Amino acid sequence: MPAEVVAKGSILGKYVPARCVMAVLGSIGMAIVCCLKVNLNVAMKAMVNYTAIHERPLYTDNLETLSNLREDGPFAWDTPQQGTLLVCYMWGLFVQIPLARIAENFSAKWLMFFSVAVNVVCSLLTPVLTKLHTGCLILLRVLQGVGEGASFPAMHVMIASWAPPKERTAMSTIVYVGTFVGRALSILIGEFVLERWGWESVFYVTGAFSYIWIGLWLILIQDNPNKQRFISPEERQMINRSLGTEVHEDHHPAVPWKKIFKSSPFWAILIAHTCSNFGWNIFLFGIPNYFDYILQFNVDVNETISATSYSNMIIFLISLGIILHCLQIKGKISATGARKIATSVCSLVPGACLIILWFVRCQQDDAVAVMTVGILAMSSKFPGFLTNHIDIAPKFAGTLVALTNTVAILPDIVVPIFVMIFTAGFESVRGWNIIFGLTILLFAVEFLVFVKFGSGKEQSWNKSPEENEDEQIPLRKINKLKS
């Protein structure tokens, strides 16, 4: 067992605990990863040569209008190529499980560093290598996907090591609100520099800002309180006592795969995660096309899901996290209650919004407002089922979130194809009825399954045999044994 690092007090004094520094820097790290992910979406409209595409027989719709918006870019990417360049990012997400084991067995701190660093490097190399060959851009996007795939397991392991049980809701909210901050900043900064210095600047400017975070993360953050010198002895003792980690061990238990796949709370998270992602993709991809082709609304998804919308998500998510945290601290609700409340909001509200859009022919402003409310509500998944991995198995939180996240990627790939097939190019009303009905059903499944089987209690398979034996011995006998 390595010697414990001497606690010298928080770098920002007793009023800013070390765990808060970790949460804030973790949030900024998530923001950087998501910001660099969205860069291509922002820059692509200035990278594509719409005149060249217009000359190709496959593309004739609205290209003249698009080409008049700005000067043509250098790349003659048709729509399938553009889709491939955006979607190939997700290919890298399928390696999350081995990355999660690295976080649990070696270092979550260094895995998160890798997550940000690989995204920064790929962003800075994008302009040069894209001009060299489009295949280089695909490779960079896949590597960025690998980087993002490392971020959630890394931060789940960090939260599990740093957050007292009653503070998990608050800390996970702080960390993962960064995903929306990153998207909002990418749109704001990206549009600003794009108009002034061209598409290359989008990748250079956002990438360069990240170096400050890298330095702070390496200096100020450690994997757990026992390795952290910038922490007070009192805070370290409080965290260790609440988590039962007073004695630091280097032993890394093997993942109990069979017990995980027999666990009802795990399946509740997996089903909720997958259903929620299906709904999220319907709102982002399907509904704007429904507005355009069926309701004849001229709604641009980039305007609807704008920086303002992400700002609203940030406010809503922080507010919900504070409310649930306060209720937990006061003993009004348990961790199970907090997760079920947040997941209920994440499923019931978007489902209700879809019903309104399905049955009520809204005016354009009303329809966009209903869509925005649905998207807003789905952000509550972070203090809901996406934090639940840490509750049920803190030792394997990284592996669990990697498992559910890997399965939940499938709707990102399937939904666009699914919508195209069932709606016959978006124009079939009957097809849209099937899409909406299925999505509402999946939201209902998400709600019912998680409310029934979801749990905020630590599962027995997360504990060692000795810990489980101690729980079965009456407290009086334990005291006698200790004395």
Amino acid 247: pLDDT: 62
Q: What pLDDT is stored for residue 189 in this prediction?
A: 85
Q: Residues 305, 438: one domain?
A: yes
- Among 197, 223, 244, where does a domain finish? 244
Contacts (Cβ under 8 Å, ≥6 apart) of 386: 172, 176, 273, 401
Q: At what angle do helices 410-423 and 79-87 cross, to 10 degrees?
A: 150
Q: Residue 75: phi, psi to the nearest 5? A: -115, 125
Task: Name, in order, each residue with C-beta under 8 angstroms of 390's C-beta and a sequence gap of 6 or more.
Answer: 156, 159, 160, 163, 168, 172, 397
Buried (b) or exposed (e) across 445-475, using 16+ Cβ within 10 A? Answer: bbbebbbebbbbebbebbbeeeeeeeeeeee
pLDDT at 1: 42
Distance (Å, rounded) from C-alpha 383 to C-alpha 392? Answer: 14
Of 201, 196, 179, 187, nearest to 378 by C-alpha is 179
Answer yes or no: is 157 within a domain.
yes
Give domain status of residue 2, yes or no: no
**DSSP track, 198-246:** -HHHHHHHHHHTHHHHHHHHHHH--SSGGG-SSS-HHHHHHHHHHHT-S
pLDDT-wise least confident of 59-68, 440-449, 465-474: 59-68
- 66-89: per-residue pLDDT in tens? 344 456 788 888 878 888 888 899
Of 244, 275, 310, the last residue of a domain is 244
Q: 1 in a domain, yes or no?
A: no
Residues 100 and 193 in one domain: yes
The whole-number pLDDT of residue 334 equals 95
Instruction: Give the model confidence (pLDDT) of 342-373 as tens digits.
Output: 999 999 999 999 999 888 767 777 888 888 89
Residue at token pair 């998500």: 313
Q: Residue 33: what pLDDT?
A: 94
Tell me, yes or no, whether 271 lies in a domain.
yes
Lowest mean pLDDT among 41-45, 149-153, 277-281, 437-441: 41-45
Select from 104, 385, 132 the least CA-distant residue to 255. 104
The average pLDDT across 432-445 equals: 93
Please state, in angstroms and rounded to a whole number, the distance separating the CA atoms of residues 277 and 408: 6
Domain boundary among 209, 244, 279: 244
In a domain, 386, yes or no: yes
In a domain, 329, yes or no: yes
Task: Tell me the three state secondary structure of residue 48.
Answer: strand
Check pLDDT > 90 for residue 159: yes
Verify that 48 and 164 share a domain, yes or no. yes
Determine the pLDDT at residue 56: 41
Indicate whether 204 and 279 sit together in one domain.
Answer: no
261 shares a domain with 226 = no
In sign, the C-alpha dihedral spanning 311, 317, 320, 326 is negative
pLDDT at 347: 97
Does residue 421 share a domain with residue 327? yes
Same domain, 174 and 266: no
Number of domain units in the chain: 2
121: containing domain: 7-244
* Model pTM score: 0.90
Instruction: Assess whether 263 and 219 both reside in one domain.
Output: no
220 and 283, same domain (yes or no): no
Look at residue 434 and tell me if it is in a domain. yes
Residues above pLDDT 90, as percent of the chain:
59
Task: State pLDDT tens for residues 304-330.
Answer: 456 677 888 999 999 999 999 999 999
389: tokens are: 């991995």
Position 61 scores a pLDDT of 38
For residue 117, give the CATH number of its domain: 1.20.1250.20
Are residues 294 and 270 located together in one domain of the fold? yes
DSSP symbol at 458: P
Shared domain for 234 and 273, answered yes or no, is no
Q: What is the mean pLDDT of the chain?
A: 86
Residue 258 and residue 240 share a domain: no
